[in-house]
Amino acid sequence: MKTLHPAPGVIETHLRSLPLFAGLPSGDVARVAEGALLRLYEREEDLFREGDEARDLFCLVQGVARALRTGPGGKEKVLHLATAPGLVGEVPTMAGRPFPATARCTEECTVMVVPRRALLDLARRDPEILLRVLASSLMRLKELAGLLAEHGERSALVRVASYLLGHLQQGAVDLPAPKKDVANLLGLTPETFSRALAVLRDDGAIEVDESTVHVLRREEIERLLEAGD
Amino acid sequence: MKTLHPAPGVIETHLRSLPLFAGLPSGDVARVAEGALLRLYEREEDLFREGDEARDLFCLVQGVARALRTGPGGKEKVLHLATAPGLVGEVPTMAGRPFPATARCTEECTVMVVPRRALLDLARRDPEILLRVLASSLMRLKELAGLLAEHGERSALVRVASYLLGHLQQGAVDLPAPKKDVANLLGLTPETFSRALAVLRDDGAIEVDESTVHVLRREEIERLLEAGD
DNA sequence: CGCGCCGTTGATTCGCTTCAAGTAAGGTGG
DNA sequence: CCACCTTACTTGAAGCGAATCAACGGCGCG
């Protein structure tokens, strides 16, 4: 982990690009920016660990990180894939509670670190911020609920198909992390994930190129979802 | 669903028993109580459904409800078992978003219904309330994350053992809902759950009496958790 | 180059689901 | 009060699907 010293104004620019701080008076943003740092994290380095006290808000400026829980056997379960630009751990930071999961960089990440204190000051002036954090917490809840519901009652193939349709943009899906991590997020082993993609590929429904999945025949995939429930 | 008309003061008493409203000025509680109703819901009746707009806060005064998601196949996945006294759907209500899941009564339930408007008024006067809701949201996140992590990498027997130890009180666990719902919460079929309990029973580790599980040999169960990871 | 990680594919195993009976308790209506 | 239904739970038998074990090719990197 390395601390960067960007030109003045860079931090403010990054802050403004986040929905959480959008539409705030410039004075407020400046005050938050004062205490903020810019850091560079290496691959597989942790932003924080499950159980750590939440002292800072982490804003992912560049790179990808995953939220995970580690079982006693050392195996990790991916709960979320966070991509830039976005926040990581904003809920526990605001609530002043320990992090419920570990955040680990999947690749080299540029991260803005905002001290909790600055956030609390901001919230005192404008409680609206709390509502926004609450809303993002709700989104996360919904996401986890969706994962949980899918894990039980859907086959591997259907889960993969569902993921692809849910992340489809302009005819393709860009996997935000190595396939093994996406597989883990879906509750699958890398082998099973690979096989599922192979089936779709052999059906002519998709085409896989590195971390990009081109969807050739969307109907094919949709048909799977209807049938497989 | 039937609306009750309790003696004045009853609603305030129920409100005060909730951590969310504890320590509030009596004037504030009275104001919240003004708009609140007391309702009786039947078995299997819904408090709200996934996707509904959150207009009210539901306070479970008596009974048990479950939060669930329904897959297109009609199968339901239990995400949470809520017991009285407690809140249901407080996060989406505060955030003003649609409910991410359905809340369905497992048995007859007495529920206090507080209009969202009253909560927002309260929050404007005392933003601390928002932090409390945020904290409860975080607990729910942690809970779901825990479920999700266990579903993949632990066997049925270990999951049941883990649940028992986690809910142990005075040497016994009182299952808050029919076994089939507890099974579903753990991501198991009723059959598998029943079998797991049977194994523990035959090992002499537990004794099952209706909805109460007496833990006779705690070490036995702990040993399972260490070995089974 | 040689080592390690990622991804793919194949063969095997095993735990859970599914299907099928059967018991028991509770509620309803004749 | 009893016949009948529904629902919850338990146990047995069978089949399947994903995990596991294993081998291999590709690629980045020291």
Yes or no: say if B85 and B107 are a contact pair by the CB < 8 Å rule: no
Does the CB of A187 fall within 7 Å of any strand D atom?
yes
3-state secondary structure at position A217: coil
Stretch A93-108: mean pLDDT: 96
Task: Give yes or no for residue A191 having a pLDDT over 90.
Answer: yes
% of residues, chain A, pLDDT over 70: 100
Instruction: Supply the pTM of this predicted model.
Output: 0.94
Identify the band that residue B22 occupies on the pLDDT scale cut at 50, 70 and 90: confident
Asked if residue B85 has a cis previous peptide bond (ω within 30° of 0), the answer is yes
> What are the chain B neighbours of A134 within 8 Å (beta carbons)?
91, 94-95, 130, 133-134, 137
- Across the A:B interface, residue pairs with CB atoms under 8 Å apart total 130
Q: Is the pLDDT of residue A98 over 90?
A: yes
Residue of A120, A2, A98, A117 lying closest to A50 (CA atoms): A98
The contacts of residue A65 (CB under 8 Å, 6+ apart) are A47, A81, A82, A88, A103, A104, A105, A106, A109
- The answer to whether the CB atoms of A100 and B141 lie below 8 A apart is yes
Single out the residue of B212, B106, B220, B202 nearest to residue B169, CA to CA.
B212
What confidence tens digit (pLDDT) does each residue in A3-39 have?
988 887 899 999 999 999 988 998 999 999 999 999 9
Q: Residue A74's pLDDT is what?
A: 83
pLDDT of A106 over the 80 cut: yes
Q: Is the pLDDT of residue A146 over 90?
A: yes
Strands B172-174 and A86-88: unpaired
- Asked whether residue A195's C-beta has any atom of DNA/RNA strand C within 7 A, the reply is yes
CB contact under 8 Å between A71 and B149, yes or no, is yes
Of A96, A97, A149, the CB nearest to B77: A149
Q: Is residue B72 scored above 90 in pLDDT?
A: no
Which nucleotide comes closest to A180 if you measure CA to C1'?
A: C6
Find the mean pLDDT for residues A81-103.
Answer: 96
Beta-bridge partner residues of A41: A109
The pLDDT, as a whole number, for residue A6 is 83
- Least CB–CB distance from B130: residue in A72, A131, A148: A131
> B73 vs A167, which has greater pLDDT?
A167
List pLDDT tens digits, range B74-130: 899 999 999 999 999 999 999 999 999 999 999 999 999 999 999 999 999 999 999
State the pLDDT at residue A107: 95
B227 touches chain A (CB under 8 A): no
**For residue range A150-189, what is the model confidence (pLDDT) as tens digits?**
998 899 999 999 999 999 999 999 999 999 999 999 999 9
pLDDT band at A227 (very low <50, low <70, confident <90, very high): confident
C-alpha distances in Å from residue B82, one per residue of B4, B90, B214: 22, 12, 22
Torsion on CA atoms B128, B130, B136, B139, rounded to nearest 10: -100
pLDDT given for residue A58 in this prediction: 97
Please check whether strand D approaches the CB of B197 to within 7 Å: yes
**Within an 8 Å CB–CB cutoff, is residue A120 touching chain B?**
no
Nearest-Cα distance to chain B for A107, in Å, is 23
Which residues of chain B make contact with A124, given a CB cutoff of 8 A?
A: 127
Report which of B110, B105, B107 is spatially closest to residue B40, judged by C-alpha positions.
B110
Q: Letter for the amino acid at A79?
A: L
Interface test with A, best of B20, B75, B126, B137 (most A CBs within 10 A): B137
Each residue of B170-222: pLDDT tens digit? 999 999 999 999 999 999 999 999 999 999 999 999 999 999 999 999 999 99
Tell me the two tokens of residue B22.
């504890």
Q: What is the pLDDT of residues B38-64, one digit of tens each?
A: 999 999 999 999 999 999 999 999 999
With beta carbons less than 8 A apart as the criterion, state whether A36 and A100 touch.
Answer: no
From chain B, pick out residues whose CB is under 8 angstroms from the CB of A123. Answer: 127
Question: In the prediction, which pLDDT does B10 show?
Answer: 92
Residue A149 confidence class, pLDDT cut points 50, 70, 90 = very high
What tokens does B155 get?
A: 């066997």
Would you call A66 an interface residue with chain B, using a CB distance cutoff of 8 Å?
A: no
Across residues A53-57, what is the average pLDDT?
Answer: 97
Dihedral pair phi/psi, residue B176, rounded to 5°: -75, -10
Min Cα distance B84 → chain A (Å) is 22
Q: What is the pLDDT of residue A228?
A: 74
Give B127-180 pLDDT, tens digit per residue.
999 999 999 999 999 999 999 999 988 999 999 999 999 999 999 999 999 999
- Cβ of B190 < 7 Å from strand D? yes
The reported pLDDT for the residue numbered A111 is 96
Q: Does B131 touch chain A (CB under 8 A)?
A: yes
HEC assignment per residue over B123-190? HHHCCHHHHHHHHHHHHHHHHHHHHHHHHHHCCHHHHHHHHHHHCCECCEEECCCCHHHHHHHCCCCH
So what's the pLDDT on residue B153?
85
